[in-house]
Structure 1
Amino acid sequence: MRARANSRRQLANILRLFVRTNGLRMLLGTLLATLTVLAGMALLGLSGWFITATALAGLSAGAGQAFNVFVPSAGIRLLALGRTAGRYAERVVTHDATFAVLAALRERLFRGWAQPQAAQALLRQPARLLFRLTQDIDALESVYLRVFVPSVTSICALVLTGAVLGVLDWRLGSVVFGWLLLCGGGVTIMAARRARAASLRRSLELERLRAQSVDLVAGQTELAMSGQLQWQCRAIARTDAWMAQADDRLHRIETGSSWLLAVCGHLGVSAVLLAVGALVRAEALSMPLAALALLMVLAALEPFSSLRRGALDAGRSWLAVRRLGPRLNQVQRAPEFSTLARLGGPGDGAAVARLVAAETYYRRSDGPALRAIDLHISPGECVAVIGPSGAGKSTLLQLIAGEIYAHRGTVQAQGCTWLTQRTELFQDSLRDNLRLAAPDATDDQLWAALQASGLVGDVRKFAHGLDTRLGEGGLGLSGGQSRRLALARLLLHPADFWLLDEPSESLDGPTAEDVLARLVRNARSKTVLIATHLRREAQLADRLIVMNHGRMVAQHQRGTPDFEAALAALRQH
């Protein structure tokens, strides 16, 4: 019961987000959908009345002359044009409003993830987070398009049918309203309940299928080397078969509910036919009005067809609400002990970065990754953090960059740009990969950055220049070219504080020396923090910070014997 109440609360919160994001357009779309359905019902009923009345008028010359064909025929034309225009406008408005809301929700969700430690979560569960951002968000469209709008139009159609038939005979109107409500609502609820398990299973199996496919593509080399490639393929085939079973179950439920709704509609029309026949025989109702009543009932169940399709997706939508509700509505904030501030500038010259008793954890059970870090970096200073692998060098840069939280202590830093160990390039053009650092950069600025990074000659040799398309992960560039492209991106960013994580690692000697020389030339007015275990990088620094097991164990200033001794202990390449 508590879980259901929580799910309803999350659904209410998401509906409020819908209203706040594009509520007026959604209301307009619902109104247009309702008017379109009512116009269609009125068109069918008026056409039946007109045809029957015209046929009866034709039996008598006097009645034919007295019968006014212009008003009802004009009404039919008006309703036909209005229904066509309304249907088009309704489709445009409802879908435009829905897509706008989903885009806003997707942006809100993405911004909620774009916080410290988001990158680690993305690397751990890429398929799951992508599923949340795409399929789960898309599942929410059913809440409006396939549930709310058809529900409103169905109720209005039933009210119109009951009102029209009630004017003709109150008993007939009451019985027909009750019967249509029982049939349409009952079939919809039954379909939703029967389809919920299959819909949930299909959604879960689709997520599992995507995760398994991502694992197959990303890890095919490892799977092949370990002899697990065929096993992974069989696992994907099993998941696909289970999803096919869920699809088959949903198809059967849809077919059955469609058949049941049609039977109920035919029974209702048959009963109304007998009732209006009796009323006509008793001269309590004219034949044209009897035709109008019959055709109104025939059209009254049409909106429930759309609602039935929404009922089949209800399980998927409900699961999306449960998954996304907490993430879309929570206020993103740092942990209790974290203070992450951005200093506006050197100002009093105090610091570009200041850490006081800072500690951070990857997982609480593992103990601190960094312990009691006290660090002060002045403007224009070049500092190198050295130590063995696992000492916490990269973690310190992550903490200063705001990529991870400080669970205890204080971290303050100016805005910075971070050159990580891994060059992150995307399947896009060279131009757009560069503009990640400066979205408004002109082509002249891009060429200048490439010139400064030493990549301009290679790019000019490419047939398409800046429009050259890169493959996934920068496929098409060598390791040295990728690093130079990352350096160009670093130079384009306007920040005066650089974080460099082993900038020449994995490069051959001449390339590494050239990259470092270019970094030095362009970093003269910058504050630089380098994490390294190489002598050629550490010797650029004014101060060395020695780390071990997450602690700062020593600091050495350039020109001191300890500084030279620490440098000598590092490997050159």
Structure 2
Amino acid sequence: MKHNLLATLLAAIHIAAGLILLIFSSWFIAACAIAAPGFNYMLPAVVIRALAMIRIASGYGQMWLGHKQLLERLAATRLTLFKRLHNSRLPQQDANTEALVQHTEAVAALWVAWISQQAGLVLTLLISQLALMWLTPAVAVYGWGLLMGVLLSFGWVCLKALSDSEQLLQHKQRFRQQTNAQLSSCSLWHMQSELHLADASAMWLAQQHIQNRADHALWRLHGVSLLLLIMVLYQAPAALLGQAKLLIPVMLLLTARDWLAGPLRSQQALADYRNGKTQLTHLAIQNVSQQTLDMPLEQIQLKAFQVSNRSLPPMSLSLQSGQLLLLQGGSGSGKTSLLQALFGLISYQGERLINGQTLTQGVVTGWYLAQQQPVCLAGSLRDNLQIASAAASDTKLIEVLRQANLSHLENALDEWLGETGRKLSGGELKRLNLARAWLSEASLWCLDEPFEGLDSHQQQLMADSINRAAANRIIVLASHLRPTNLNVSQTLDMDKLIEANARAGRKVS
């Protein structure tokens, strides 16, 4: 907290030093123009340089300390979120992205993006009004007028931003849901006569509306300051005319738009903070229980196994260590749901048996699930691999990269990945998923569409790697692609299973 207060103080000093520099320079310029011989130019020049140095030093200090605290606060916010997500899952992928990126950033940036700006504004208004009351008391009333206009405008913009940001959040969530739904069905796009992509215009217009409201309020304040400037020049006492200090209120009113712009536009940061805090507090989280096996995995059996809340028929099968089960079927046939239920990520009816013993609902420690859309963190390649084994040595990491046909990356363990670094191709992401599986040394691999996005040669290499892994573990693989060299022990065609169940239902009826 003390570092946040220090950063806020430095931000206020930075803004205040700029304003004092403006006031003093305005007086100095006018004084030089009307000064009598013998006027001491040296002392004011030294003061101006000192103010400039204070402004520069406080600005750099605030940026360094403020952003340092921003990153620390962001890390703490996300760690808190990760602790809440331990042994649990988010049912929607878009909610996961929203929580980890936008909401956490909005919560962490409150001090830098809003509190520091408002502290600088308060200090600026206080200094300007005190300067007017001390140096030009005859026109200080116009400073009070500007102060009232600022308070009313800031309050109005802040309240409107809070209400508008809720609508903006709804537009973002709707756009994200539409985009995710379309991307999940991209394999069916060629079957659609007309393809209507998600429309982002409502979200863009909402963002523009919020920005325009702040800009309009700023222009209104600029108009008020110009009107007050005209009144100052028209009604200034005769004793004040011709004096250098008359330029002080003139410059304060002329530049009001410039030193009010930053704090006024920062009101959106408060609205984003409130929305982010609300969304993180009410985040929909599903608890997932975990269990540990105290025996080697030799056999998996499913008896009358059926995925909850899915229109899939019950099924029974048995797999031995060293076997590979291929789940086949078209898009939407339920391959991913069955794979996740077998892994324990989603609930099911029926029984899962390990070596003849029934398992309870939930994930089993020591099993590995490779999702269809691999996750690449904004971090080094080493960080992205050590998700599967935090204590893995560099030698082990290089070994699994070679096993996953990523040997061209074995000298890039410290290279930064993600949006701000090296971007992996879709095929490289698939192989990164496989490298994590090798690194986990799990006794059961559940692989969701590992060949998607790979050319035929890479599919063959991926299949060879999976064949080697299947020698001493059980692998369940969901894919609509089947390389010719993939050694499949059993095949479960979801389309045929659903069709057979439908025929049986018709016979019964």
Letter in 1 for 2:366: C
1:253 to 207, 213, 229: 213
1:98 aligns with 2:70: yes
Cα distance between partner residues in 2 of 1:423 and 1:297: 56
CA distance in 2, matches of 1:25, 1:196: 28
CA contact (8 A) 1:400 1:411 kept: no
User: Structure 1 residues 75, 500: closer, same or farther in 2, change over 3 A?
Assistant: closer
User: Distance in 2 between the 1:200 and 1:396 partners?
Assistant: 37
Cα separation, 1, equivalents of 2:410 and 2:79: 32
Aligned to 2:396: 445
Q: Aligned in 2, Cα 1:418/1:142: closer, same or farther, shift over 3 Å?
A: closer
Q: String of CA shifts for 1:514-549, please: whole Å, max 9, x gaps.
A: 77874575x4xx8x79899xx9758xxxxxxxxxxx
Which of structures 1 and 2 has the bigger CA Rg?
1
Q: What SS class does the counterpart of residue 368 from structure 2 fall into?
A: strand
Which residue of the partner structure matches residue 493 of structure 1? 440
1:398-433, Cα deviation, whole Å (9 max, x unpaired): 6796634799x9669873132569695869999887
Cα deviations across residues 41-69 of structure 1 (Å, max 9, x unaligned)?
A: 2222222333444444426xxxx2xx443
- Secondary structure, in 3 states, of the residue corresponding to 2:150? helix
Deviations 1:185-223 (A, max 9, x none): 222233445566665555544554455455555544413
Q: Summarize the alignment of residues 371-390 of structure 1 with structure 2, pairs less than 5 Å apart.
A: none
Q: Is 1:156 aligned to residue 116 of structure 2? A: no
Match of residue 149 from structure 2: 183
Q: Give the match's secondary structure for 1:418.
A: strand
Distance of 1:403 and 1:501 partners within structure 2: 14
Query: Residues 142 and 261 from structure 1, CA distance in 2 versus in 1: closer, same or farther, beyond 3 angstroms?
Result: farther
Question: What does residue 84 of structure 1 align with?
Answer: 56
Report the counterpart of residue 121 of structure 1 in structure 2: 92
Q: Structure 1's 435 and 413: CA in aligned 2 closer, same or farther, altered over 3 A?
A: closer
- What is the CA distance between 1:134 and its match in structure 2? 3.4
Query: Is 2:103–2:273's contact at 8 Å kept on the other side of the alignment?
Result: yes
Q: Distance between the aligned counterparts of 2:451 and 2:130, measured in 1?
A: 79
Q: Between the two proteins, what is the percent identity of the paired residues?
A: 22
What is the Cα deviation at residue 292 of structure 1?
4.0
The superposition leaves residues 497-519 of structure 1 with CA deviations (integer Å, 9 ceiling, x where unpaired) of 54667999999xx9999778745
- 1 CA distance for matches of 2:382 and 2:468? 21
Match 1:318 to one of 271, 274, 280: 271
Contact 1:280 1:287 in 2 (8 A): yes
Task: Give matches, 1:17-56, under 5 Å.
Answer: 23-56=1-34
Q: What TM-score do you get using the length of structure 1 for normalisation?
A: 0.59
How does 1:505-516 map onto structure 2 within 5 Å?
A: none
Deviations 1:425-452 (A, max 9, x none): 869999887655345645643565577x
Partner of 1:309: 265
Q: In the TM superposition, what whole-angstrom CA distance separates every residue of 1:345-387 from its partner, at most 9, and x where no partner exists?
A: 85xx89999xxxxx99845xx89999xxxxxxxxxx969999x
Instruction: Look up the SS of the partner of 1:277 in the other structure.
Output: coil
TM-score normalised according to structure 2 size: 0.65
Task: Name stretches of at least 5 consecutive residues in structure 2 with no aligned partner.
Answer: 300-304, 315-319, 350-358, 414-421, 479-486, 491-509
Q: CA offset at residue 182 of structure 1?
A: 1.0
- CA distance in structure 2 between the partners assigned to 1:200 and 1:131 by the alignment: 15
1:279 CA drift (Å): 5.0
Of 467, 471, 474, the residue aligned with 2:427 is: 474
In 2, Cα distance between equivalents of 1:193 and 1:326: 17
Inter-partner Cα distance in structure 2 for 1:57 and 1:207: 64
Query: In 2, are the aligned partners of 1:183 and 1:261 still within 8 Å (CA)?
Result: yes
- Output the CA distance in 2 between the equivalents of 1:504 and 1:156: 59
Counterpart code for 1:308: L
CA apart distance, 1:78: 0.7
Does the 8 A contact of 2:3 with 2:69 survive in 1? Answer: yes
Equivalent position of 2:353 in the other structure: none
- C-alpha distance in 2 between matches for 1:504 and 1:287: 80
- Tell me the CA shift for residue 151 of structure 1: 1.9
Instruction: Give the aligned partner of residue 280 of structure 2.
Output: 328
